Amino acid sequence: MRLALRSLFFLAVITLISAISAWPQATTGSIYGQILDPSSAVVAGANVSARNQSTGVSYPGASDGVGNYAVYGLPPGVYDVTVEKEGFETASIKSVRIVIDQKQLINFALKLGAVSTIETVTAAPTLLQTESSETGEVIQSHDILNLPLEGRTFYDLTRLTAGVTAGSGNTNSFNFSVNGQREYSNSVQIDGIESTTNRTQDITATPSVDAVEEFKVSTSGYSAEFGRSAGGEVSIQTKGGHQRLAWRCL
Protein backbone atom coordinates (compact mmCIF):
# COMPACT_ATOMS: atom_id res chain seq x y z
CA MET A 1 0.00 0.00 0.00
CA ARG A 2 2.80 2.42 0.93
CA LEU A 3 4.64 1.61 -2.29
CA ALA A 4 1.51 2.29 -4.35
CA LEU A 5 0.96 5.66 -2.62
CA ARG A 6 4.58 6.61 -3.21
CA SER A 7 4.27 5.74 -6.89
CA LEU A 8 1.13 7.85 -7.20
CA PHE A 9 2.91 10.77 -5.48
CA PHE A 10 5.86 10.67 -7.89
CA LEU A 11 3.48 10.38 -10.85
CA ALA A 12 1.59 13.49 -9.69
CA VAL A 13 4.86 15.44 -9.29
CA ILE A 14 6.06 14.45 -12.77
CA THR A 15 2.69 15.44 -14.25
CA LEU A 16 2.81 18.83 -12.50
CA ILE A 17 6.36 19.54 -13.70
CA SER A 18 5.41 18.59 -17.24
CA ALA A 19 2.39 20.88 -17.17
CA ILE A 20 4.46 23.81 -15.89
CA SER A 21 7.16 23.31 -18.52
CA ALA A 22 4.50 23.17 -21.24
CA TRP A 23 2.92 26.52 -20.26
CA PRO A 24 2.50 28.56 -23.42
CA GLN A 25 4.61 31.61 -24.20
CA ALA A 26 3.40 32.46 -27.71
CA THR A 27 0.17 34.12 -26.60
CA THR A 28 1.85 36.73 -24.41
CA GLY A 29 3.24 39.97 -25.79
CA SER A 30 6.02 42.33 -24.76
CA ILE A 31 6.81 46.05 -24.57
CA TYR A 32 10.34 47.29 -24.97
CA GLY A 33 12.37 50.28 -26.06
CA GLN A 34 14.97 52.81 -24.89
CA ILE A 35 14.83 55.52 -22.22
CA LEU A 36 16.74 58.79 -22.76
CA ASP A 37 17.18 62.07 -20.87
CA PRO A 38 16.73 65.61 -22.33
CA SER A 39 20.27 65.54 -23.76
CA SER A 40 19.56 62.20 -25.50
CA ALA A 41 21.87 60.36 -23.08
CA VAL A 42 20.70 56.92 -21.93
CA VAL A 43 18.97 56.53 -18.59
CA ALA A 44 19.99 53.39 -16.71
CA GLY A 45 18.12 51.89 -13.77
CA ALA A 46 14.71 53.40 -14.56
CA ASN A 47 11.74 51.41 -13.29
CA VAL A 48 9.12 50.48 -15.88
CA SER A 49 5.64 49.18 -15.13
CA ALA A 50 2.91 47.97 -17.52
CA ARG A 51 -0.49 47.85 -15.81
CA ASN A 52 -3.35 45.90 -17.34
CA GLN A 53 -6.45 48.11 -17.32
CA SER A 54 -8.85 45.15 -17.05
CA THR A 55 -7.17 43.13 -14.31
CA GLY A 56 -5.13 45.78 -12.49
CA VAL A 57 -2.07 43.52 -12.62
CA SER A 58 1.26 45.33 -13.11
CA TYR A 59 4.23 43.80 -14.94
CA PRO A 60 7.66 45.23 -14.02
CA GLY A 61 10.76 46.01 -16.03
CA ALA A 62 13.91 48.13 -15.76
CA SER A 63 16.35 49.85 -18.10
CA ASP A 64 19.87 48.43 -18.36
CA GLY A 65 23.24 50.16 -18.71
CA VAL A 66 22.49 51.37 -22.23
CA GLY A 67 18.94 52.53 -21.44
CA ASN A 68 17.13 49.56 -22.96
CA TYR A 69 14.17 48.04 -21.15
CA ALA A 70 11.72 45.18 -21.74
CA VAL A 71 8.51 44.00 -20.08
CA TYR A 72 7.66 40.41 -20.96
CA GLY A 73 4.76 38.01 -20.43
CA LEU A 74 1.91 40.44 -21.15
CA PRO A 75 -1.44 38.74 -21.80
CA PRO A 76 -3.43 40.41 -24.60
CA GLY A 77 -5.15 43.52 -23.33
CA VAL A 78 -4.86 47.28 -22.85
CA TYR A 79 -1.99 48.60 -20.72
CA ASP A 80 -0.85 51.83 -19.05
CA VAL A 81 2.96 52.04 -19.21
CA THR A 82 4.84 54.12 -16.62
CA VAL A 83 8.55 54.99 -16.29
CA GLU A 84 10.07 56.28 -13.03
CA LYS A 85 13.61 57.41 -12.22
CA GLU A 86 14.91 59.59 -9.38
CA GLY A 87 15.65 63.09 -10.66
CA PHE A 88 13.19 62.84 -13.55
CA GLU A 89 9.48 63.39 -13.98
CA THR A 90 7.42 60.22 -14.21
CA ALA A 91 6.44 59.47 -17.83
CA SER A 92 3.23 57.60 -18.59
CA ILE A 93 1.48 56.48 -21.77
CA LYS A 94 -2.11 55.28 -21.57
CA SER A 95 -4.13 52.59 -23.35
CA VAL A 96 -1.42 50.67 -25.18
CA ARG A 97 -3.14 47.75 -26.92
CA ILE A 98 -1.20 44.46 -26.85
CA VAL A 99 -2.52 41.62 -29.00
CA ILE A 100 -1.39 38.02 -29.10
CA ASP A 101 2.39 37.59 -29.36
CA GLN A 102 2.88 41.30 -30.13
CA LYS A 103 6.25 43.01 -29.69
CA GLN A 104 5.48 46.69 -29.11
CA LEU A 105 8.26 49.28 -29.35
CA ILE A 106 7.85 52.36 -27.09
CA ASN A 107 10.73 54.79 -26.51
CA PHE A 108 10.67 57.35 -23.68
CA ALA A 109 12.39 60.75 -23.32
CA LEU A 110 12.34 61.76 -19.64
CA LYS A 111 12.29 65.35 -18.42
CA LEU A 112 14.23 66.63 -15.41
CA GLY A 113 12.05 67.10 -12.33
CA ALA A 114 10.43 65.39 -9.38
CA VAL A 115 9.20 61.81 -9.62
CA SER A 116 5.84 62.96 -8.21
CA THR A 117 5.28 65.03 -11.37
CA ILE A 118 3.64 62.84 -14.01
CA GLU A 119 3.91 63.64 -17.70
CA THR A 120 1.35 61.84 -19.83
CA VAL A 121 2.65 60.98 -23.28
CA THR A 122 -0.07 61.62 -25.85
CA ALA A 123 1.64 60.12 -28.91
CA ALA A 124 0.20 56.64 -29.34
CA PRO A 125 2.50 53.81 -30.46
CA THR A 126 2.01 52.33 -33.88
CA LEU A 127 -0.46 49.45 -34.14
CA LEU A 128 1.60 47.87 -36.90
CA GLN A 129 3.91 44.98 -36.06
CA THR A 130 7.17 46.68 -36.97
CA GLU A 131 9.53 44.54 -34.91
CA SER A 132 9.31 41.29 -36.88
CA SER A 133 8.80 40.06 -40.43
CA GLU A 134 5.76 38.01 -39.43
CA THR A 135 2.66 38.31 -41.61
CA GLY A 136 -0.90 37.46 -40.66
CA GLU A 137 -4.01 38.82 -38.99
CA VAL A 138 -5.51 39.22 -35.52
CA ILE A 139 -9.25 38.53 -35.36
CA GLN A 140 -10.49 40.52 -32.36
CA SER A 141 -13.54 40.18 -30.12
CA HIS A 142 -15.74 42.65 -32.03
CA ASP A 143 -15.17 40.66 -35.24
CA ILE A 144 -16.05 37.38 -33.55
CA LEU A 145 -19.22 38.83 -32.01
CA ASN A 146 -20.47 40.89 -34.96
CA LEU A 147 -19.59 38.89 -38.07
CA PRO A 148 -21.98 36.09 -39.13
CA LEU A 149 -20.87 32.63 -38.04
CA GLU A 150 -22.70 29.63 -39.46
CA GLY A 151 -22.82 26.97 -36.79
CA ARG A 152 -21.12 29.31 -34.26
CA THR A 153 -17.66 28.08 -35.19
CA PHE A 154 -15.39 31.07 -34.65
CA TYR A 155 -12.48 29.55 -36.56
CA ASP A 156 -14.42 30.07 -39.80
CA LEU A 157 -13.09 33.64 -39.53
CA THR A 158 -9.62 32.24 -40.21
CA ARG A 159 -10.41 32.76 -43.89
CA LEU A 160 -10.32 36.53 -43.37
CA THR A 161 -6.52 36.20 -43.45
CA ALA A 162 -4.71 36.43 -46.78
CA GLY A 163 -3.35 33.04 -47.86
CA VAL A 164 -5.97 31.01 -45.98
CA THR A 165 -8.58 29.05 -47.91
CA ALA A 166 -10.99 26.21 -47.22
CA GLY A 167 -9.29 22.82 -47.38
CA SER A 168 -10.11 20.22 -49.99
CA GLY A 169 -10.75 17.41 -47.51
CA ASN A 170 -13.83 16.67 -45.41
CA THR A 171 -12.35 14.64 -42.54
CA ASN A 172 -11.05 17.40 -40.24
CA SER A 173 -13.15 19.98 -38.44
CA PHE A 174 -10.38 22.56 -38.85
CA ASN A 175 -10.50 22.22 -42.61
CA PHE A 176 -8.27 25.10 -43.77
CA SER A 177 -5.28 25.34 -46.05
CA VAL A 178 -2.61 27.95 -45.27
CA ASN A 179 -0.44 29.03 -48.19
CA GLY A 180 -1.42 25.91 -50.11
CA GLN A 181 -0.46 23.43 -47.39
CA ARG A 182 -2.66 20.42 -46.66
CA GLU A 183 -5.31 20.71 -43.97
CA TYR A 184 -4.24 17.33 -42.59
CA SER A 185 -1.03 18.82 -41.19
CA ASN A 186 -2.58 20.68 -38.25
CA SER A 187 -1.07 20.77 -34.78
CA VAL A 188 -3.45 21.88 -32.02
CA GLN A 189 -2.39 23.13 -28.59
CA ILE A 190 -4.70 23.93 -25.68
CA ASP A 191 -3.02 25.93 -22.92
CA GLY A 192 0.32 24.78 -24.28
CA ILE A 193 -0.63 21.10 -24.26
CA GLU A 194 -0.89 19.17 -27.50
CA SER A 195 -4.53 18.45 -28.34
CA THR A 196 -4.63 16.79 -31.74
CA THR A 197 -5.75 13.40 -32.92
CA ASN A 198 -3.03 10.92 -33.72
CA ARG A 199 -4.09 10.00 -37.25
CA THR A 200 -5.45 13.18 -38.87
CA GLN A 201 -4.07 15.89 -36.58
CA ASP A 202 -7.58 17.28 -36.14
CA ILE A 203 -8.90 19.32 -33.20
CA THR A 204 -9.83 17.30 -30.11
CA ALA A 205 -11.45 20.26 -28.28
CA THR A 206 -13.03 23.49 -29.52
CA PRO A 207 -13.76 26.42 -27.18
CA SER A 208 -17.16 28.09 -27.36
CA VAL A 209 -17.42 31.18 -29.55
CA ASP A 210 -18.49 33.08 -26.40
CA ALA A 211 -15.27 32.08 -24.63
CA VAL A 212 -12.88 33.43 -27.29
CA GLU A 213 -11.49 36.95 -26.84
CA GLU A 214 -9.36 37.05 -29.99
CA PHE A 215 -7.13 34.87 -32.12
CA LYS A 216 -4.13 35.43 -34.33
CA VAL A 217 -3.42 33.83 -37.69
CA SER A 218 0.25 33.92 -38.72
CA THR A 219 0.96 32.79 -42.26
CA SER A 220 4.72 33.35 -42.64
CA GLY A 221 7.83 34.72 -40.98
CA TYR A 222 6.80 33.66 -37.48
CA SER A 223 9.12 32.66 -34.65
CA ALA A 224 11.28 29.53 -34.76
CA GLU A 225 9.29 28.13 -31.84
CA PHE A 226 6.73 27.21 -34.50
CA GLY A 227 9.36 25.49 -36.63
CA ARG A 228 7.13 22.51 -37.36
CA SER A 229 4.60 24.76 -39.10
CA ALA A 230 4.87 24.63 -42.88
CA GLY A 231 1.67 26.56 -43.48
CA GLY A 232 0.47 28.84 -40.68
CA GLU A 233 0.11 29.29 -36.94
CA VAL A 234 -3.09 30.21 -35.10
CA SER A 235 -3.09 31.38 -31.45
CA ILE A 236 -6.34 31.79 -29.53
CA GLN A 237 -6.89 33.91 -26.43
CA THR A 238 -9.93 33.12 -24.27
CA LYS A 239 -11.81 35.63 -22.16
CA GLY A 240 -10.58 33.95 -18.98
CA GLY A 241 -7.42 36.08 -19.18
CA HIS A 242 -4.99 33.48 -17.85
CA GLN A 243 -6.30 30.67 -20.07
CA ARG A 244 -4.64 30.67 -23.47
CA LEU A 245 -4.85 28.34 -26.42
CA ALA A 246 -2.58 28.00 -29.42
CA TRP A 247 -3.39 26.17 -32.64
CA ARG A 248 -0.67 25.62 -35.14
CA CYS A 249 -1.41 24.80 -38.77
CA LEU A 250 1.51 22.91 -40.24
Task: Supply the range of the domain harboring residue 157.
Answer: 135-249
pLDDT at 245 over 50: no
Can you name the residues that pair with 35 across neighbouring β-strands?
108
* In-domain check, residue 18: no
The helix or strand, by DSSP H or E, that contains position 35, with its residue range, turns out to be strand 29-36
Q: What is the mean pLDDT of residues 81-110?
A: 91
How many CB atoms sit inside 10 A of residue 166's CB? 12
How confident is the model at residue 150, as a pLDDT? 79
Residues 112 and 145 in one domain: no
Residue 73 pLDDT greater than 70, yes or no: yes
Do 242 and 200 meet the contact criterion of CB atoms below 8 Å apart? no
Mean pLDDT of the chain: 77
229/139 same-domain check: yes
What average pLDDT does this structure show over 31-48?
Answer: 94
Mean pLDDT of 39-45: 94
Q: Are residues 145 and 243 in the same domain?
A: yes
Could you tell me which residue, 79 or 199, shows the higher pLDDT? 79
| Residue range 242-248: mean pLDDT, rounded | 45
| Domain count along the chain | 2
- Give the span between the Cα atoms of 236 and 160, in whole angstroms: 15
Could you say which of 93, 121, 149 is where a domain stops?
121
Q: Which of 6-20, 97-111, 170-184, 213-227 has the lowest mean pLDDT?
A: 6-20
**Tens digits of per-residue pLDDT, 188-243?**
666 556 666 777 767 777 888 888 888 888 778 777 666 566 767 778 777 764 44
- Residue 11, domain member (yes or no): no
Is the pLDDT assigned to residue 134 strictly greater than 80? Answer: no
Assign 91 a pLDDT band (cuts: 50, 70, 90): very high
Q: Measured between alpha carbons, how far is residue 237 from residues 14, 24, 100, 125 in Å? A: 27, 11, 7, 22
Mean pLDDT in residue range 74-86: 92
pLDDT at 229: 64
Burial classification of residue 243, based on how many CB atoms lie within 10 Å of its CB (0-12 exposed, 13-18 middle, 19 or more buried): middle
CATH code: domain of residue 99: 2.60.40.1120
Give the whole-number percent of the chain exceeding pLDDT 90.
28
Residue 6 lies in a domain: no
pLDDT reported for residue 23: 41
Using an 8 Å Cβ cutoff, are 141 and 213 in contact? yes
3 state SS of 20: helix
The CA-based dihedral angle spanning residues 166, 207, 193, 22, taken in that order and rounded to the nearest 10 degrees: 120
Residue 129 lies in a domain: no
pTM greater than 0.95 (yes/no): no
Same domain, 229 and 152: yes
State the pLDDT confidence band at 130, using cuts at 50, 70 and 90: low
The pLDDT value given to residue 38: 93
Q: Is 17 inside a domain boundary?
A: no
pLDDT tens per residue, range 21-31? 444 445 788 99
Choose between 186 and 246: higher pLDDT.
Answer: 186
Q: What single-letter amino acid sits at 38?
A: P
